[in-house]
Amino acid sequence: MNLIHRLATGLRRRDPDLAATRRAARTALVMPVLFALCVEVFHAPVVGTFAAFGSFAMLLLVEFTGPWPERLRSYAALGLAWMVLVILGTLAARSVWSAVAATVVVGFVVLFSGVVSSVLAGATTALLLGFILPVSAAVPLSQLPDRLLGVALATVAAMAAVSILWPRVPEHPLSAPAASVCRAAARQLRAESGHYSGQVSEATFARCLACARETEASALRLRQSFTETPYRPTGLGTSSRAMIRLVDELTWLSAVLADSSPAAERSHGQADDPESSAVRESAATVLDLAAEMLEDPGRPPYRLREAAAELRGALSALEDEAVNRLPIPADVDDLLGSLDVSFRAQEVAFVVLQLAANLDLARSAERRSWRERLLGREPGAATGALASAWERALAHLEPHSVALHNSVRGAAGLGVGVVIADLADVQHAFWVMLGTVSVLRSNALTTGQNAFRALGGTVAGSVIGVLLLQLIGARTELLWALLPIAVLLSGIVPAAVSFAAGQAAFTLTVVILFNIAQPEGLSVILFRIEDVALGCAVSLVVGLFFWPRGASAAVSRALAEAYADSARYLLGAVDYAVSRCSSEPGPIEVPQEGRRAASAARRLDDAFRTYLTERGQKDMPLGGMTTLVTGVVGLRLAADAVLELWRRSPGGPPPEDRADARRELRLMADGVFRWYESFAAGLEGRTPVPEPDPVDRPSDNRLVEAVRDDLEDAAGRATGVRVIWTGDHLQAARRLQGAIAAAAARGDAGEERR
């Protein structure tokens, strides 16, 4: 019992939500039954082969999310796609050149389609298997109906299995730590709310300090849950991607709260600010409701929406009252001190509102139609499903996209595998191609590591297979008994142990499967080792030939683009603010730079996901890398905040009356943009990483002087305050430089040691 308990505890630690265990158990029950039914009862080995591999792909290699009707539609669509791919593969296999051409085209389309939606991304490997299996063996067209019948049986069995066998939906592994951060931040905001309502004492300072430390610790635990696993602990769905953004936003919120806490600036004398207190109290309510939604995914979002609306109202009241409470006339320090508390509350409120909108997006994503899921349409998107899919694909059709690199390399590797299998006259060409696709990764180094693991696992599985065949001999009934055990291990071992162990279990499964269908003894093992060795060699050569710098370089390049585009977006937002300083109010417009920054952020997310899913030594600690990724979020939020700030701009006098303010804002924005542009170049290694710019206090002073006439005039005071707050957002972007420059410097030091 102790041994079983230890095994169960170890499995829970490596597979916390038992997702891999659940898929493996279903497959271990369904696949052998289907295979036995076709081979032993109906004496149809072709049907049995395609039913076995089809059920293996649909039950073990994919797991669709969402309501049960939508899941079943996804499995039905996957079965239909398999039938189309089986037809194409069977037709293309009639000559080697048609097989190569079809493999390259189908391989690229399938791999690249993963950028469109989570449904397609999660089914990529299963779809490739559906084409590899038929294209690797030329057979008469008379066998096509048997192949399609096997796929149909696998589809029906998979739909029944996911509905009946262990249908529980696992909780998201990040929900609990994210909820903990939300509750800790809510407690901190309530403590600060009491402080800014005038309750200033040593006790309130101590409480604010304790709550700030608790928030920081909770955020650290969330980030550790996110990074300290071999594979990224999230799925590919919109709700899971929203959770990824939530991790970044909560990290950024904890940083903002650390800077804005009264405990961080005990010497600050402004403590009686009822509007700032109300904003913090409303933000705390939103965070508590967000924690409830994270803990109970079935909870409807209407209360969160109502609380967010109340927070917006409190924020509007804060902005209006900040204008009325200005100490006019006053010196520069008095003006900046008066507005600082209000700005900090506004900054916190904006991040909390973004977080609430993100959670609302996750819940809305779960209620999308199947077609919208398939085509990756975001909830509430202005464009249709097809237009959304096209937009996402276009975002990755550029030279530095990791998704484009992987798609081209994967398609080329599969095509080369077909050629080599034909030239070498390999008996089981399927395994050459499977070996190719199983070890292709985002860089040449990891491809080589995975090739070594694949071969090592294959040898280990083959040795075990030899021993089993020697012991079992011709007793087929024992092979039938061992088949479900091997399938179960094939599903659990890759997640619980390692990639190489998974290869060993899969090799053993194939040995058993082929010896049941066509008893060949040790020959199938030798062919398996030969074929996978050729497939691994192909993948290694292709990995060295196409973009050999690797995932670390790819994520550095994606970071550089994201920082450059986000800084350009911030510059565009300030230009928009400058244009609103002296124009009639109108609807807010998102600058074109915002769309480019969003596309760069999507590419960064893909590159970072690839970086995290790769095993082996990293050039940069994950903590430093995630600091850099979170910095991009902070920079984009600053640009978003500037746009939101000027949404209700009242207009004002002619341009020449605010020429000094406009010029000062542009100078500040240009300085911030130039630093981030230089930082982006440093991330790519083209220049050294620049030292952070100091907080530009003289610019703040000049900005206040430039709008002093507005501040002393009731008609222009609101615009003057918005100008100063825009400068504060630029200073926040400048304060961010220290943390990201330090993280980049640690990465450079690590690379030098290597």
Q: Same domain for 219 and 201?
A: yes
383 is a domain residue: no
Q: Same domain for 606 and 664?
A: yes
Confidence (pLDDT) at 119: 66
Percent of the chain at pLDDT exceeding 70: 63
pTM of this prediction exceeds 0.85: no
Would you say 483 and 35 are in contact if contact means Cβ atoms under 8 Å apart? yes
CA angle 288, 302, 191 (to 5 degrees): 20
Q: Among 505, 523, 545, which residue terminates a domain? A: 545
Query: Residue 613: which CATH number?
Result: 1.20.58
151 is a domain residue: yes
Q: Same domain for 289 and 357?
A: yes
Q: Same domain for 144 and 218?
A: no
Q: Among 523, 545, 567, which residue terminates a domain? A: 545
Q: Same domain for 23 and 79?
A: yes
Query: Exposed, middle or buried, 270 (CB in 10 Å: 0-12/13-18/19+)?
Result: middle
680 is a domain residue: yes
Q: Same domain for 517 and 426?
A: yes
Q: Three-state DSSP class for 382?
A: coil
Q: Among 545, 567, 597, which residue terminates a domain? A: 545
Q: Same domain for 225 and 289?
A: yes
Q: Three-state DSSP class for 391?
A: helix
Within 10 Å of residue 5's Cβ, how many Cβ atoms? 9
324 is a domain residue: yes
| pLDDT, tens digit, 9 for 90 and up, residues 138-150 | 889 999 999 999 9
Averaged pLDDT of the chain: 75
Q: Same domain for 116 and 185?
A: no
Q: Same domain for 470 and 486?
A: yes
Q: Structural domain of residue 639, as residue ranges?
A: 549-754
Q: Same domain for 215 and 337?
A: yes
673 is a domain residue: yes
385 is a domain residue: no
| pLDDT, tens digit, 9 for 90 and up, residues 383-414 | 565 666 667 677 667 776 767 777 887 788 78
441 falls in which pLDDT band (50, 70, 90)?
Answer: very low
691 is a domain residue: yes
64 falls in which pLDDT band (50, 70, 90)?
Answer: confident
165, 558, 678 from 681: Cα distances, Å: 53, 12, 5
Total count of domains within the chain: 4
Going by C-beta distance under 8 Å and a sequence separation of 6 or more, which residues neighbour residue 699?
A: 664, 667, 668, 727
593 is a domain residue: yes
Amino acid identity of 37?
A: L
Q: Same domain for 580 and 606?
A: yes
Would you say 34 and 48 are in contact if contact means Cβ atoms under 8 Å apart? yes
Average pLDDT over residues 369-387: 60
Q: Same domain for 348 and 208?
A: yes
Q: Three-state DSSP class for 197?
A: strand
